[in-house]
Amino acid sequence: MMRKALAIAAVFGITAMALPAFAETSAREPKDVHWSFEGPFGRFDQEQLQRGYKVYHDVCAACHSMNLMSYRNLGQKGGPFYDPKYPNPNDNPYVKTIVKDFKVPDIDTDTGDAIKRPATAADAFVKPFPNTYAAAAAYGGAAPPDLSLMVKARENGLRYVYSLLTGYATAPAGLTIPAGRYYNPYFPSDLGSAWTGKGPVPTGGFIAMPFQLTPNRVTYDDGVGATTEQEAKDVVAFLAWSAEPHADERKDLGLAVMIYLLIFTGVLYASYRTIWRNIEH
């Protein structure tokens, strides 16, 4: 029995070892920060999501699209502006107010002309650029990536994005920084060719985005102090929610399912012991 348990433990242990460490990266270890929504019992903090949306809206949205998001999502269950009084997010007054600021491209069905019409809650987030080529052209060839799934698309994504946003540092002497690029120790890359200083090649890389989240870059409506760290933490929370808007629902259902399965497993075990009680085996 013991040997079996050890064998099973070894299988899972070695599998677990194999999963996270895929490559040697030359980026600094992300900062150790934590959010309310981590772990099976963690849930999003709605006020933090609202602040995070504000950071995205006021800062990030100037360059970064979120193609998988629609305005209605902001008012859906679990969203930053969800209000139980308005189960249909299209009726949500916050969402209605937010969309007033946006115009979306459309076709006039009477004339066939390309027009801009006021956005509705059903519309996708307005893109800062019509396409990635336009975005790349505006930023020296580096198109700002879409942020819809950003925290899932990077290893240790929450802490990585947070560290990247807050981790800009003065480049060490001996590092030649290309024009239009900024040194960030958390941005994974190989700086060997740009390094002429003494000692080992610095970790990190050159990123086309300059430092954005200066203190008080946004003014929070709820009076929370807008430090760099607070802004980064809030926007990462918003990005985490946007990457998987049903994460809270998933965990709620998961807890119920686990309790159900535990009871069901117990019932089956009791049935098994009862049925087999007279069988010597």
Partner 1 sequence: MSGPSTYEPKTGIERWLDTRLPIIRFGVDLLDFPTPKNLNYWWTFGGILAFCLVVQIVTGVILAMHYVANADLAFNSVEHIMRDVNYGWLIRGIHANGASMFFLAVYIHMFRGIYYGSYKAPREVLWILGVIIYLLMMATAFMGYVLPWGQMSFWGATVITNIIGSLPVIGPAITTWLWGGFAVDNPTLNRFFSLHYLLPFVIAGVVGLHIWALHVPGNNNPTGVNVKSKEDTVPFHPYYTVKDGFAVAVFTLLFASFVFFNPDGLGHPANFTPANPLVTPNPIVPEWYFLPFYAILRAIPNKVGGVFMMFASIGFLFILPWIDFAKTRSMRYRPTARVFFFFFVFTCLVLGVCGAHEPTGHPFGHADWGNFLDADINSYVWLSRIFVAYYFAYFIVITPLLGLIETPLPTPESISSPVLPQGAAASPEKKG
Question: Which of 7, 114, 173, 179 touches partner 1 by CB under 8 A?
Answer: 7
Task: List the x/- string, 136-165, binding to partner 1 by CB under 8 A.
Answer: ---------x--xx--xxxx-x--------
CB-nearer residue toward partner 1: 219 or 278 = 278
The nearest distance, CB 23 to partner 1, in angstroms, is 5
Alpha helices by DSSP H, listed for the chain, are 2-18, 46-58, 71-74, 93-99, 132-138, 157-166, 228-243, 247-275
Tell me if 10 contacts partner 1 by CB under 8 A.
Answer: yes
**What is the widest separation between alpha-carbon atoms in the chain?**
85
- From 99-107, 209-217, 228-236, 248-256, give the range in contact with partner 1 by CB under 8 A: 248-256
Whole-angstrom Cα distance, residue 5 to residue 74? 47
Q: Which of residues 30-59 bind partner 1 (CB under 8 A)?
A: 40
Question: Which of 48, 50, 73, 163 touches partner 1 by CB under 8 A?
Answer: 73
CB-nearer residue toward partner 1: 40 or 223 = 40
The nearest distance, CB 14 to partner 1, in angstroms, is 4
- Using an 8 Å Cβ cutoff, are 95 and 70 in contact? no
CB-nearer residue toward partner 1: 117 or 250 = 250
Tell me if 77 contacts partner 1 by CB under 8 A.
Answer: no
Whole-angstrom Cα distance, residue 128 to residue 123? 15
Tell me if 253 contacts partner 1 by CB under 8 A.
Answer: yes
Whole-angstrom Cα distance, residue 68 to residue 155? 20
Amino acid, single-letter form, for residue 274: T
CB-nearer residue toward partner 1: 60 or 171 = 60
CA-angle at 221, arms to 219 and 227, nearest 5°: 40
Reading the block at residue 222, the tokens are: 């709820």
Tell me if 207 contacts partner 1 by CB under 8 A.
Answer: no
Whole-angstrom Cα distance, residue 168 to residue 211? 6
Whole-angstrom Cα distance, residue 46 to residue 30? 25
Does the CA dihedral 195-199-204-210 come out positive or negative? negative
CB-nearer residue toward partner 1: 73 or 230 = 73
Reading the block at residue 17, the tokens are: 């070892």
Whole-angstrom Cα distance, residue 117 to residue 223? 34
Which chain residues interact with partner 1 by CB under 8 A?
A: 7, 10-11, 14-15, 17-19, 21-24, 40, 67-68, 73, 145, 148-149, 152-155, 157, 243-246, 249-251, 253-255, 257-258, 261-262, 264-265, 268-269, 271-272, 275-276, 278-281
